[in-house]
Amino acid sequence: MGKTDYFCSSNIKLSTEGAKYYLNEQLLEREEKTGKINYTEPEFELEVSKAASKFVDRSFENIVVLIGAGASVVMTDNNDIDGRYGKTVSMIAQIVFEKLQSGRYQFQYSKSDGDEVDVFPLEQMAADIGYSDKIFDDNSDKLSLSFDLETFLSRLIMYNQFVLEDKKKWKDSQSAIFDIIKLATSYDYEKEVFHHTALINILSQKLSSENKLSVVTTNYDTLIEDAAESMGYTVFDGFSFSSTPHFDDDMFEWHLSKHVSDVKTKENIYKKNVIDLLKIHGSLTWRISKSGENVIRTDKHASGESVMIFPNSDKYMQSYEEPYFELFARFQDLLKRPNTLLLTTGFSFADNHISRMIIQAISHNPSLSTLITDYSLDLDKPNKNWKELKHMLENANSVAFLKATLNKDLTKYLMGYTEGI
């Protein structure tokens, strides 16, 4: 099987092979009276922690963390995904299939609770819209791993613009799928399960008080907001501090400070524990106002259509609509700032639009350092963006890779992994 990489930068490579541990392809050993002894697993984990900590502990003026869908995933003791929390796209697709199979669907998000409508089963829609007439694995009621929900939805959305027969049923079927996606991405923050609080704390403490940590996420869920609230953090998410918060991009420019004066000097003291939050694909808590003129923030269980970019090939064009355009532009600006650290977690770089923004920033901003964390650094079928990032590392760009996931070991590595040492 070969070695498994745990940390890779331009000058450090930490890897394992069975019970042996390596630094830059050299076996890690320590001197004992009886001779050389191989490193233990805790000792190797400490080396990984040192490498990761050294990469991020460099007095950055700005820190940006990009949180993708994988950051909401929680693994069981058997190393399976816990279905109560974040789900993969293939898991959501399977839920869509099962929920629509009866031909009836009861809404919980997209329409008034309890509304039940006729819908088309998934396999019938796939055949009628020209996606595929075979979406299952052989002799199985499970969707094939090759089933692409994003491509399917793109075809469905296009088909619905021109369909002549059963227009209401087709529209309801599409709305039902969106409703299922919302349900599948809606879960409450549990501090014993999710490690978002630790990540926010660790990274915020690396900045001076006048510089806010910037959290950028593609996720619809409210885990970041809930984690911040549980610690007493103030979140600038682009919405006004009014009784009905409405989107106002200028809010990101503001800080919280108080004026302190004495005999000799006058100065402002910035409030600690303040973060910016950019939800670049929308949120379960966003709605269109009754006037239709504003995007407002409300409770995630409030009635009405959520303002979200659903997975489909048209999402690139949607990013030019309000409020996404402002959020993407601000994210791009953050990546251009000098002396900046970008840390990614749960983001696979399959989203080409976001990935190209990051790759371009690495190419043109020499003071941008990027730490990419993922459940594996040795992907069987890496996408082209992942390959390009690996190539940039090899060309001595300030890029590093860390084998870690948010809800398992990332925060331990960042704050010093001392378990068992």
| Strand 234-236 to 257-261 pairing | unpaired
What pLDDT, on a 0 to 100 scale, did the predictor assign at position 73? 94
Mean pLDDT of 379-399: 88
Does position 381 have pLDDT exceeding 70, yes or no?
yes
What pLDDT, on a 0 to 100 scale, did the predictor assign at position 421? 41
What pLDDT, on a 0 to 100 scale, did the predictor assign at position 420? 47
Cβ distance 277 to 235 under 8 Å?
A: yes
The rounded mean pLDDT for the chain is 90
What pLDDT, on a 0 to 100 scale, did the predictor assign at position 114? 64
* Spans of all domains in the chain: 4-46, 55-80+192-415, 89-185
Domain spanning 55-80+192-415 has what CATH number?
3.40.50
Q: Which residue has the higher pLDDT, 133 or 119?
A: 119
Does position 416 have pLDDT exceeding 80, yes or no?
no
Taking the C-alpha atoms of residue 324 and residue 308, their distance in angstroms, rounded to an integer, is 9
